[in-house]
């Protein structure tokens, strides 16, 4: 580790800017599903810069598109026509499933969710928002205000009145003992009761699979059942697809499609994987919602030419190589391999997820008590074995997060699973 770089980091950056590992890692370059640190150590990357390197590190098609665009023009702002932005917006609008869709580009998922909340509150003329317990929606003042995860919510102050709904976590809480059908029914009843005690909200914002929350999710169909209740009252549904989008779940291109009984959401937000590391976020909404603002607005850096060129190349590669299908096939094998390994580790409470979005929740053996120290120990042991993973969870960060690039092959999945199995066994 470069001690001088760590000292400089600590001297000039905020204390709350989290770093992984007892000896933080400087990643200098990557290729495919691997990255290298400043000491030349190679790692299999099962976290992809927090689900952002969605296809592969140093993907030649993206590198070429960025290089060629940089040689023409990098940026001009939204005050001028921008062909790459229009090209990518057309493709995303068509893929979104939202009728008469409009797309607004931002620079991050936080800013995308912030924009969706602005649109919803302006359209509905209400500042009441429904959000899910254990949720995470970003770092801005408004996004923190709808985040239901105490570990990522540094203030209770907010421009919004937020009401938190049951259902985002299947295996914990007052309804965990119910079967899926009764779980959904109980969550819907709770929502109906909540709606009866408040003025009509602007929207429900929900992650189909909670990312920072530890890759937890409700039974399929929950948000469709919520949507039916909300639609009757004119309440919008915002699907936060920052982590679930672009085929990562394998079964679907968007997370909302697991809850598709009542059709697409009114809005979806996206970021992370579309840029393969370039800073792209955005909102897709029906035209009447997107166009409801009655004041001028622009985005200086949202939709800039160089990021749009990267997004177009990355999306094209992802679709042409059926990386969603690969996530389903290889992810299914990886989940089964990890479940088999976890069966011999008493500290593993659950292995969950779908596609290449997999969570491993750790507790103190024989209890439901979260064990964040065990999660940190596994993170360190995996690194020592040559594997990078993440962690999260609503219960003191006791869940491991596994989310490799979607081009992961079977041999790499087996290699990573073997390293992770050894890391899990090391904490016994």
Give mean pLDDT in consecutive 10-residue pieces for the chain, a chain of 428 residues: 83 95 97 97 97 98 98 97 98 97 98 98 97 94 91 88 95 95 97 94 98 95 96 96 98 95 93 97 98 94 97 98 98 98 95 97 93 96 98 86 98 98 94
- Rounded CA separation 387/417 (Å): 9
Q: What pLDDT, on the 0 to 100 scale, is given for residue 152?
A: 83
Domain final position from 277, 296, 320: 320
Domain final position from 292, 320, 348: 320
Q: What pLDDT, on the 0 to 100 scale, is given for residue 261?
A: 82
H/E segment holding residue 35:
strand 34-37
Residue 247 backbone zone (phi > 0: left; psi -120 to 50: alpha; other: beta): left
Domain limits for position 43: 3-58+323-425
CATH number of the CATH domain containing 23:
3.90.1150.10
**Are 166 and 183 contacting, i.e. CB atoms less than 8 angstroms apart?**
no
Whether residues 263 and 315 share a domain: the answer is yes
Q: Report the predicted TM-score, pTM, of the whole model to 2 decimal places.
A: 0.95
Whether residues 239 and 378 share a domain: the answer is no
Whether residues 221 and 359 share a domain: the answer is no
Whether residues 221 and 149 share a domain: the answer is yes
Whether residues 262 and 128 share a domain: the answer is yes
Tell me which residue has tokens 């593993």.
Answer: 348
Whether residues 205 and 81 share a domain: the answer is yes
Instruction: Spell out where 280-347 has E strands.
Output: 281-286
CB atoms within 10 A of CB 198: 12
- Rounded CA separation 127/117 (Å): 9
Whether residues 251 and 155 share a domain: the answer is yes
Q: What pLDDT, on the 0 to 100 scale, is given for residue 395?
A: 64
What's CA 293's distance to the chain center, in Å? Answer: 27
User: What are the φ/ψ torsions at residue 197 (nearest 5 degrees)?
Assistant: -115, 10
CATH number of the CATH domain containing 78:
3.40.640.10
Q: How far is CA 232 from CA 38, 192, 226, 259, 367, in A?
A: 56, 11, 10, 17, 42
- Rounded CA separation 49/386 (Å): 16
Whether residues 312 and 405 share a domain: the answer is no
- Rounded CA separation 246/266 (Å): 18
Q: What pLDDT, on the 0 to 100 scale, is given for residue 265?
A: 97
Q: What pLDDT, on the 0 to 100 scale, is given for residue 1?
A: 47
Whether residues 206 and 297 share a domain: the answer is yes
Whether residues 247 and 330 share a domain: the answer is no
Please, how many CA atoms are within 13 Å of residue 73, restricted to the half-sphere of its CB?
11
Whether residues 153 and 228 share a domain: the answer is yes
- Rounded CA separation 353/409 (Å): 18
The total number of structural domains that make up the chain: 2
Whether residues 32 and 127 share a domain: the answer is no
Sheet of strand 357-362: strand arrangement:
348-354, 357-362, 399-402, 390-392
Domain final position from 287, 320, 353: 320
């Amino acid at each position: 580790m470069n001690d001088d770089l760590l000292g400089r980091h600590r001297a000039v950056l905020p204390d709350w800017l989290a770093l992984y590992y007892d000896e933080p890692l400087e990643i200098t370059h990557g290729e495919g599903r691997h990255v290298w640190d400043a000491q030349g150590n190679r790692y299999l990357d099962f976290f992809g810069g927090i689900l952002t390197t969605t296809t592969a590190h140093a993907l030649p098609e993206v590198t070429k598109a960025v290089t060629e665009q940089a040689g023409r023009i990098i940026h001009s702002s939204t005050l001028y026509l921008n062909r790459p932005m229009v090209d990518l917006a057309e493709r995303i609008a068509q893929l979104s499933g939202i009728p008469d869709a409009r797309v607004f580009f931002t620079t991050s998922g936080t800013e995308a969710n912030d924009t969706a909340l602005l649109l919803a509150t302006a359209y509905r003329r209400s500042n009441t928002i429904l959000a899910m317990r254990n949720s995470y929606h970003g770092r801005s003042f408004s996004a923190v205000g709808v985040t239901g995860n105490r570990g990522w919510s540094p203030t209770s102050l907010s421009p919004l009145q937020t009401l938190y709904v049951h259902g985002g976590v299947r295996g914990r809480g007052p309804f965990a003992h119910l079967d899926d059908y009764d779980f959904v029914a109980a969550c819907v009843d709770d929502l109906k009761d909540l709606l009866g005690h408040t003025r009509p909200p602007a929207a429900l914002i929900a992650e189909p699979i909670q990312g920072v929350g530890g890759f937890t999710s409700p039974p399929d169909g929950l948000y469709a059942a919520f949507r039916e209740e909300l639609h009757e009252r004119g309440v919008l549904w915002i699907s936060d697809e920052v982590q679930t989008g672009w085929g990562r779940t394998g079964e679907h291109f968007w997370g909302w499609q697991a809850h598709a009984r009542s059709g697409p959401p009114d809005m979806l937000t996206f970021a992370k994987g579309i840029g393969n590391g370039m800073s792209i976020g955005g909102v897709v909404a029906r035209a009447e919602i997107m166009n409801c603002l009655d004041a001028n607005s622009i985005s200086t850096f949202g939709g800039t030419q160089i990021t749009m060129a990267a997004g177009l190349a990355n999306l094209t590669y992802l679709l042409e190589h059926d990386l969603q299908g690969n996530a389903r096939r290889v992810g299914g094998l990886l989940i089964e391999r990890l479940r088999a390994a976890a069966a011999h580790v008493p500290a593993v409470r659950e292995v969950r997820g779908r596609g290449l979005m997999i969570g491993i929740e750790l507790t103190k053996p024989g209890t439901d008590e979260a064990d964040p120290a065990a999660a940190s120990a596994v993170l360190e042991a995996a690194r020592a074995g040559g594997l990078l993973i993440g962690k999260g969870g609503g219960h003191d960060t006791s869940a491991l997060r596994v989310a490799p690039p979607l081009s992961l092959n079977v041999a790499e999945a087996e290699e990573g699973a073997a390293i992770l199995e050894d890391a899990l066994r090391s904490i016994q």
